[in-house]
Structure 1
Amino acid sequence: MHSTSPAPLIREPLHAPVAHLVRGGVVEGIHYGSVVVLGPDGEVELGLGDIEAAFYPRSALKPVQAVAMVRAGLPLDGELLSLTAASHSGEEFHLAGTRRILAMAGLGEDDLRNTPDLPFDPVERDAWVREGRSPSRLAQNCSGKHAAMLYTAKLNGWSLDDYLDPAHPLQRGIAETVEDLTGQRVAQVTVDGCGAPLFAVSLHGLARAAARIASAPSGSPEGRVADAMRVHAEMASGSRRDVAALMRAVPGLLAKDGFEGVQVAAQADGRAVAVKIADGADRARVPVAAAALVAAGVEPGALAEFRGEALLGGGKPVGAVRVVGALEVGGSAVACA
């Protein structure tokens, strides 16, 4: 176990400008946010905005939740463990994987307590709508995590109906793992979009947790989760998702996104980055994260496809999202031209 610091303060984050939306040479919009880059020794090499305020990592915390379940005896590895840490796209292989986890537990879709939804991926969602299919718990992007939660509870002889209660042994164990890997007490507990408990930590703490998972020895709970996600990146996200493409582009990288503009990524040597875009915009999340990875030592050429989409006018490129401030040193190499 790692030493644990006090909980981060709950306050209005003091975000800083991290990206400009430039159209025809004029700054049309500004994205504020916070960014932290950790070196292999765990020290902060770059900090922008407010990296110590309490915030909700949303689904970027799922690798930590998966580690907690492995520590509690979850026997999954490979693609099914990757699915445990996934915000999946709702593609058929994700649904099939979730069914497999439920079958191992002797359970079915009706035992899930996540919120019914349509698939996250637009292509899959459009197909469901055309076919007249209704939202389902299986299609919702957190179903793999919820199936694994049920399996973990079943293996430990814990109750199933209330597995999402923060007082449940499963959720208490997850909270302990969050505090262990982030190195700080949880500041606040609320409910995530899928219905599971959500823990507030700092951006710094999130980066530290990702670094500890990515650099852990193979065979350890942390190492098993990291290996599963890196090898089965599409299972942790989707075949058309930027986070899977990011892991493919940078060998050995562990990456996870989260709603409201959150991105975390870490390398096997312990270097890590974490990003929070204040307005939750995905269009800034990826370019800012790419610039942060350059600052963390990733070769800029490997990140060329993550420069961000060009801003169009009349169907032609007329602008771009450009990282600003301290990120420009690395970000200039990956900014959309």
Structure 2
Amino acid sequence: MTREAVLVKEYRGGMLECIHNGHICIVDEHGTIKKQAGDPRFRVFTRSAAKPIQAIPGIRAGLIPYYGLNEAEVAIMTASHRAQHHHVETLESLLRKTGLQEQRLVCASALPLDREARSRLLREGGGPRKLYHNCSGKHLGIQAYCKMAGMTQDHYNDPAHPVQREILAALANLADYPAEDIRLATDGCGLPVFNLPLSSLATAYMKLACPDRIEDQQTAEAARSIASAMNKHPEMVGGSGRIDTLLLEDDNIVAKGGFKGVYAFSLRKERLGIAFKIMDGSEEEWGLIVLEILRQLGYQNSDTLQRLREAFGGIIHNDEGWEVGSSEAAFVLE
């Protein structure tokens, strides 16, 4: 059995209600494990944490000048967006510039994840669209690359498609992990999803923050452009109140979460890559765990720490906004 660490404890009415176990890995600029909790090599599915890396092949090949893309449009390619107004405007701009057809996207039609945007849409008589799916930016970026490169847009989600083979190679390169050892399954949006050690995901994120550690210069420039766009347009990557957006407001941090409790971020000045997995798949604890990791690392940006405390400070509220419990980080990095 893999040794799990207790990451977070939750209390209601002063009584223990939930325990969230998991694994944390922190690597330095050489990919060496420096800090950990649980098993730093536990294999995880990347889920949406892979999105910045999935954008690399297209950006590397010249997607930005070819279509005249701006940085907000690059950022939305990495997003798990909430289909808020500014997200939809940017996605529709991508459709116009690339000439792609929304109905050819593999991702399912959906309603906006943002409650206010969803309510407004329904009041106005609108319904589900593929563009509202939180992964639609990623799909548009991949399809735009296929169109530009003369690859078929059909079955672009097939692991054997040239674009998917190129994405896998890019991930293997950044993760310092053999492509043949990365296991594949199908993500919620229909694209291949990658399974690899937590330490390898942390290494890939370290290189997103420190692209000088990427040997191929075109790949390094693509990683730099993608991470810069995420920092300049954090509102595109997540949405109002989302931890991705909050962290990316700090230009020292590159961050992106994935479904089922996986999260990855990196620190430029400290040259560290960090990834963790909550084993029960919960996301509510991400902010508290990130805050505690930064605290234990002695992170110096007090503004970021304060924003995290205000947003994810460990107070549990019910649907009416009453304070009904608390949560606390329970791990010590070794």
* Same fold, TM-score > 0.5, yes or no: yes
Aligned to 1:335: none
Aligned with 2:132 (options 139, 149, 160) = 139
Aligned to 2:316: 311
Compare 171-180 and 266-275 and name the one that shifted more. Answer: 266-275
Aligned to 1:277: 278
Question: How far apart, CA to CA, are the structure 2 residues paired with 1:236 and 1:312?
Answer: 26
* Pair 1:87 & 2:84 matched: no
Q: What is the CA distance between 1:124 and its match in structure 2?
A: 1.5
Aligned to 1:258: 258
Q: What is the CA distance between 1:303 and its match in structure 2?
A: 1.7
Question: How far apart, CA to CA, are the structure 1 residues paired with 2:300 and 2:16?
Answer: 28
Contact 1:35 1:276 in 2 (8 A): yes
Aligned to 1:159: 152
Q: What is the CA distance between 1:115 and its match in structure 2?
A: 1.4
Contact 2:108 2:130 in 1 (8 A): yes
What secondary structure does 2:63 align onto?
coil
Within-5 A mapping of 1:177-256: 177-185=170-178, 186-216=181-211, 220-248=221-249, 250-256=250-256
Question: How far apart, CA to CA, are the structure 2 residues paired with 1:40 and 1:148?
Answer: 29
Mark the CA change 1:244 to 1:224 in structure 2 (over 3 Å): closer, same or farther: same
Question: How far apart, CA to CA, are the structure 2 residues paired with 1:204 and 1:195?
Answer: 25
* Pair 1:44 & 2:46 matched: no
* Pair 1:27 & 2:35 matched: no
Contact 1:37 1:295 in 2 (8 A): no
Compare 283-292 and 148-157 and name the one that shifted more. Answer: 283-292
Contact 2:23 2:42 in 1 (8 A): no
Question: How far apart, CA to CA, are the structure 2 residues paired with 1:150 and 1:226?
Answer: 20
What secondary structure does 2:87 align onto?
helix
Q: Give the aligned CA root-mean-square deviation in angstroms.
A: 2.3
| Residues 117-146 of structure 1 deviation map (CA, whole Å, 9 limit, x = unaligned) | 111222212322333322210110111111
Residue type of the alignment partner of 2:138: K
Question: How far apart, CA to CA, are the structure 2 residues paired with 1:315 and 1:56?
Answer: 34
Q: What is the CA distance between 1:13 and its match in structure 2?
A: 4.9
| Residues 18-47 of structure 1 deviation map (CA, whole Å, 9 limit, x = unaligned) | 111123443221011111122345332211
TM-score (norm 1): 0.86
Contact 1:77 1:225 in 2 (8 A): no
| Residues 172-215 of structure 1 deviation map (CA, whole Å, 9 limit, x = unaligned) | 00000111111113431111111111111121111110110111
Q: What is the CA distance between 1:74 and its match in structure 2?
A: 2.1
* Pair 1:63 & 2:63 matched: no
Question: How far apart, CA to CA, are the structure 2 residues paired with 1:289 and 1:191?
Answer: 27
Mark the CA change 1:311 to 1:172 in structure 2 (over 3 Å): closer, same or farther: same
Aligned to 2:327: 321
Mark the CA change 1:77 to 1:202 in structure 2 (over 3 Å): closer, same or farther: farther
Question: How far apart, CA to CA, are the structure 1 residues paired with 2:124 and 2:196?
Answer: 41
Question: How far apart, CA to CA, are the structure 1 residues paired with 2:3 and 2:130?
Answer: 37
Where in structure 1 do 4 or more consecutive aligned residues deviate above 6 Å? Answer: none
Question: How far apart, CA to CA, are the structure 2 residues paired with 1:199 and 1:183?
Answer: 14
Question: How far apart, CA to CA, are the structure 1 residues paired with 2:324 and 2:150?
Answer: 59
> Gaps (5+ residues) in structure 1?
1-11, 330-337
Identical-residue share of aligned pairs (%)? 32
Contact 1:99 1:109 in 2 (8 A): no
Contact 1:271 1:296 in 2 (8 A): no
Question: How far apart, CA to CA, are the structure 1 residues paired with 2:86 and 2:323?
Answer: 36
> Gaps (5+ residues) in structure 2?
none
Question: How far apart, CA to CA, are the structure 1 residues paired with 2:4 and 2:210?
Answer: 29
Q: What is the CA distance between 1:320 and its match in structure 2?
A: 1.4
Q: What is the CA distance between 1:315 and its match in structure 2?
A: 6.1
* Pair 1:268 & 2:259 matched: no
Question: How far apart, CA to CA, are the structure 2 residues paired with 1:205 and 1:160?
Answer: 30
What secondary structure does 2:193 align onto?
strand
Residue type of the alignment partner of 2:128: P
Question: How far apart, CA to CA, are the structure 2 residues paired with 1:101 and 1:175?
Answer: 24
Aligned to 2:101: 108
Contact 1:273 1:289 in 2 (8 A): no
